[in-house]
Each structure stands twice: as C-alpha cells, then as structure tokens.
Chain A
Amino acid sequence: METLKLKYSLKDGDFSNAGNASSNIKKNLKMLGINAAVIKKMVVSIYEAEVNMIAHANGGVIEVFIDEEKIKAILADVGPGIPDIDQAMKKGYTTASEEVRQMGFGAGMGLPNIKKNSDDLKIESVVGEGTTLTITSYYKS
C-alpha cells in the first residue's frame, strides 16, 4: 500500500517549537483530501504526545506513517519512563513541574485526550529507559 513517511526529532524542553511537528503533519493530511474534523482529532492527539515528549521525556523522535486508510504515529523517547500507566491515563494526573505549568501545560489532560481523539493508543514504557506511544487513527471509523 502507498505510504507517506514523515519523521521529526524533538529537543528536550524546546517549548517554543512545541506543535511544529503536529502542524506539519496537519499540512500533509490536508493534501490528502480527508475530512477536516477527522484531521483535527488526529492532530490534537499527536500534539499532546509531542508536548509530553518535550515536557516529560527529554525529547525524542516522531515517525508518522500515512496510508490510504489510516495514520499511525510512533513517538519514541529515551526519557524517565512512566511507572504506572493506568494512573498516568487518569484525567488530572500530572507530575508537571512548576515551570511547565506556568507555560500553560500540566492539566493532566494530555493522555486522556489522546485516547479520546484516536482509534487506538498503545503505550510501552520502561522506567529509566523510555516510553513509546503508538497512536493510530482511521479516516473512516
């Protein structure tokens, strides 16, 4: 199947560029001719994961695979890992630092929003090694 591959590297704490990867992904999705509401949901979920990599995980790499029926984003970091994934998935749970909160992040809504706005979310995390999120969304559900 024809697949478009995109790849982005994110630097730790680079908040001024937070959102650049997801907005570039959005630009690409718009050229595919899929419904604007569907694009919006996909971009929200990738944006949240992108910010998490910058805020909690020393940056990392985003790889995106776009084919004719779905988009799959794999976000891999070598950060501290998530000790309790179920807890992290709860609305309002956050370990964000004071600095991060002052920038408007840290409501503990990121992961729940990713879940809500995607068709499939897989989180693999090893404490001390890193976290990999795989987010999949289909254009037609």
Chain B
Amino acid sequence: MIKNEVFNHMIKIDEDQCIGCSHCVRVCPTEALRVWNGKATLDDPKCVDCGDCERVCPVKAIVVTEDFTEFRDETYHVALLPSVFWGQFSPDISRRRITNAIIEMGFDEVFEVEESVEFLSQELENYLADKKGEKTISSFCPAIVRLIQTRFPELVSSVAHLKSPVDISALHISRSIKKERGEDAKYQIFYVTPCAAKAAAIKNAHGDEKENPITGSVNMDVFYNKVTQLLQGNEEEEGEDIEDNLSGKSVGWSLRGGEGNHIQGRCLSIDGMNHSIEFLENIDKEEFKDIDFLELKACDQGCAGGILNPQNRFLCVESLKKRAMQNDQKQNPLPDLLLEEKDIQIEEIEEMSVLALDSNPSQALKMMNKTRRMMCYLPGFDCGACGAPTCKSLAEDVAKGNAILSHCVFMQREMEKHHRLSPEHAFNIIESIWGKDRLDKDCNKKGAINDYS
C-alpha cells in the first residue's frame, strides 16, 4: 500500500557541507528548495527524492540517508541487487567473483531483483488488457509515483496498481526462506539501492513485514566500494561461472524503454524528471489518446542514471544491453517463484496533493490573487537572488507569508529609490538569505585566486 501519514525522505541536506550556492534550488523540479541563512533548506512534503539536486551540488552536501540496520546474528542474510549493480563492473570480472565478495561481507545469498520481471510483465499485460482504452502509468519508479501523488493527484488512479520487481522479489525470497528453513526462520533482506527514491519507498513500506519483508537498504555507491575492495583480495576461480538466469528482456527492465519492451500495446518511454512533468501536464491532449502504457523514469537512462550508481550511466547501459543480447534465447525463471497474482497487487495509492496554497479554498483564492498582484511588481528574471527558484515562487512564498517582497534585489533598488528602504536594511536582508559575511572577500572560494581545483 502506498499510503503514509508522514512520508519519509531519504534526501537530506548536510548543513556543514552546504555553501549555499543555490544550484540545487534552481534545478529542483518540484521547487522544494530555498536558500535561507546561507544554507539550502528543503520543504519535505514537496520533495519526491528524485535526486536532481544531488547531481548539481558542487560540494556533495545533498546526501542519501542510509536505512541500514546492523546484521543480526543467527540470521539468514540476503543481498537483493538490481541489474544496474551488475552493470557497474567490467565484463572480465565474473559473477562468481563478485558473488564471492558479497558472501565474504557476511551475506548468505545473492538475489537479482529482475528475476521477478517475467512474472510481473505477464501480470502487467493482463492489467493493461483490463484497462484497454485508458492510459496506464507504470508504478516502477517511486520518484514518479510520488510526483503523481503530490502534484498530479488526478492521475493517481491511472498508476498501475502493481508492485515493482524489488517488492515482488523480496516477497518471493521471504517465502522461499520460510519454505526451506521453517516458518520461524530469521532472515534479513537488504536492498542495494541505486537511488534515494527506492530507499524511501522501502522505508515507507516498513511496518508491514508480511507484505514488505525488506529489512533496509544499502546505498549502492558504498556497497560497490566494499565489493571492489574485497575483489582486490580474491582471484578469479577456475571453472564455470555462476549461471545467469535472467531472460534477455528482463535485464533491462529498469532502463529507459525496458518495460515497454515487454508490452504488446502502444507504450511511450520517457526519462528524466522534467520530461516526465512536461508529459504529465499534457497527458490529456488528443495526440496521446491511443497510448496504452506510459513508462516514466525519473533518471536519465532510467536506473542506470540513479544518483548512487558509481559508474558512468552510459557504460552501465552498454553493459546491460550486451548482457541482454547474450541472454536473448533464455526463457524466464517463472516456475520457481512462490507467488500468485494477488500477491503483487497494490490496494491503494493515495492522493497527497501539495499544491493547495491553503486548505480553505477562499483563503487559497486570496493567496492566488495576491501572488498575481506580486507578479505585477517582480521583474520576471528568475535570477534566484531572493533564495527562491523563480519570481513566481517568491510571489507564492510572499502570499503564504513565508517571505517578503523586498527579498527581491530589484525590488530593493526600487524601494531605495523611493526612500522606503535604507541601504543598511537592504544589506541585512541579503545576509538573512545568503548568510552573514557572505559578501566578504574570500580568495578560497571556487574559481577564486587560491582555488586550483
């Protein structure tokens, strides 16, 4: 169930690192960030954990919280790995060698997320047949699902009410452990996540252990470093490599177009937050009338572009495409899954709009009109010197009472001209946004005389 009173976020700002440069503020597709007191601040309900802010941060101040609980002793530990993880390694390192390294870390079993893809894709095909004539949106990428819940609540019912491969595989794993080791068997399943959004989805599903047996997530960059360290001490073994069971088509499910590959009907595959938003805003247009399935992924190239992938996303895509070609003839690992149709359905995806300016419509109307009145004065440069990403977002902040019009540097000039603001006061405003002494000379900042980076 995708239902939460309080939504857990994995994206956090490390205030000690943040230099208040505002790069993240400008790119956040949901306008969830502002600069205040010289630091980026995040409006949690608006954040969808897409990671676009992390990509542009010059000092690594945007961090993905780990949701890792210590290994419990006497427990069976499973590492659940997405195929993009395997795509991080050069082709001459065998699966056996990588698996050995993971076992050395203390895991008892390694399972690839995409092993449940063939099962899911069959169910998806049935689901789409039921919904013929309606546009169905993939539920795969949690950043996109969250985007729809918060900004396109009218489309929540169009999201496929089907779980994603990670949850389906985890359910299978928990059942097979119980089958082999008894109902009371203790186990922990850790998902190695390529992004903040998947980690958040797992965190938010906690509390329902039967439905969501994943214990926690490990950030892929950290995990990868551990594995590479261990690889240095372990040599390639003689003999056969571990068999790669995935069907060719399953390998690329998480990449752009990977879901569409499995679908008979008409499917559009869109990657990137801004492309996805643009599309969702225009989804009702006549030209998209006959589309059956929409595969939207927050990251460029899909999960290969997730912010926790240590390697270049294009190399990862290339590696997975090769693997898909090699496995082209393989059928699917269907018969082994301990799952039924009903296990992979999602009961409810909640509307959680964050767009209303106020819960009272008449109050919201006043604020909307006020926003428009403010826009008559603001210059429309979207320069960001007020700490907000656009003039319109400053106007909204003013209407909500979270900012004042004189946060705009051009408004300050205007007010000074009419003697309604003293230069000292204007300077204080700048410091309240960008931090104290921020305008002092500093030869150590990026690009300045002492910077050689």
Binds A, one of B283-291, B302-310, B338-346, B445-453: B283-291
Q: How far is the CB of A1 from chain B (nearest CB, A)?
A: 8
B356 and A31 form a contact (CB under 8 A): yes
Tell whether, in the assembled complex, residue B156 and residue A36 are in contact, meaning their CB atoms are under 8 Å apart.
Answer: yes
- B365 near A68 with CB under 8 A, answer yes
B360: shortest Cβ distance to chain A, in Å? 8
With CB as the reference atom, state the residue of chain B lying closest to A44. Answer: B284
Cβ proximity bits B150-193 to A, threshold 8 Å, 1 near / 0 not:
01011010000000000000000000000000000000000000
B14 at the interface (CB under 8 A from A): no
Q: A18-B286, A43-B284 are in contact. Are A33 and B153 (CB under 8 A)?
A: no
In the complex, whether B243 has a CB less than 8 A from a CB of chain A is: no
**One of B289, B353, B359, B360 near A30 (C-beta < 8 A):** B353
With A19-B284, A33-B358 in contact, do A66 and B353 touch (Cβ < 8 Å)?
no
What residues of chain A lie closer than 8 Å to B362, measured between beta carbons?
1-2, 67-68
Complex interface residues of chain A between 1 and 60 (CB less than 8 A to chain B): 1-4, 18-19, 22-23, 26-28, 30-34, 36-37, 39-40, 43, 47, 51
Q: B154: which of A3, A28, A33, A39 is its contact (CB, 8 Å)?
A: A39
CB-defined interface of B358-387 with A at 8 Å, one 1/0 digit per residue? 111110111011001000000000000000
**A2 x B369 contact (CB < 8 A):** yes
Partner of B286, one of A4, A33, A40, A103: A103
Q: A4-B369, A33-B358, A67-B365 are in contact. Are A23 and B282 (CB under 8 A)?
A: yes
A31 smallest CB distance to B (angstroms): 5
Shortest Cβ distance from residue B3 to the other chain A in the assembled complex, whole angstroms? 16
CA distance A20 to B159 in the complex (A): 23
User: What interface size band does chain B fall in?
Assistant: 20 to 34
How many residue pairs bridge A and B at CB < 8 Å? 74
- Taking the closest CB of chain B, its distance from the CB of A48, in whole angstroms, is 11
Q: Please determine whether B355 and A4 come into contact, CB atoms closer than 8 angstroms.
A: no
Q: How far is the CB of B219 from chain A (nearest CB, A)?
A: 34
Tell me which residues across on chain B come within 8 A of A40, comparing CB atoms.
154
- Would A19 and B368 be within 8 Å (CB), given that A30-B353, A33-B356, A33-B359 are in contact? no
Residues of A within 8 A of B355 (CB): 30-31, 33
CB of B208 within 8 Å of the partner chain: no
A30–B356 touching, CB < 8 Å: yes
Interface class of chain B by DSSP:
helix
Query: How far apart sit A34 and B363, CA to CA, in the bound complex (Å)?
Result: 12
Give bound CA distance, A20 to B289, whole Å. 16
Cβ of A15 to closest chain B Cβ, rounded Å: 8
Verify if B235 is at the interface (C-beta below 8 Å from A).
Answer: no
Binding site for A on B (CB under 8 A): 151, 153-154, 156, 281-282, 284-287, 289, 351, 353, 355-362, 364-366, 368-369, 372
A residues whose Cβ falls under 8 Å from a Cβ of B: 1-4, 18-19, 22-23, 26-28, 30-34, 36-37, 39-40, 43, 47, 51, 66-69, 103-105, 139
Beyond A32-B361, A36-B156, A69-B361: 6 further Cβ-contacts under 8 Å?
A4-B365, A23-B281, A30-B353, A33-B356, A37-B154, A68-B362
What are the 4 A-B residue pairs with the smallest beta carbon separation, nearest first? Answer: A33-B356, A68-B362, A36-B154, A36-B153
A-B contact pairs, 22 of them (CB 8 A): A2-B365, A2-B369, A4-B365, A4-B369, A18-B285, A18-B286, A19-B282, A22-B284, A23-B282, A30-B356, A31-B364, A33-B353, A33-B358, A33-B359, A33-B361, A36-B156, A36-B353, A37-B154, A39-B154, A51-B286, A66-B365, A68-B361
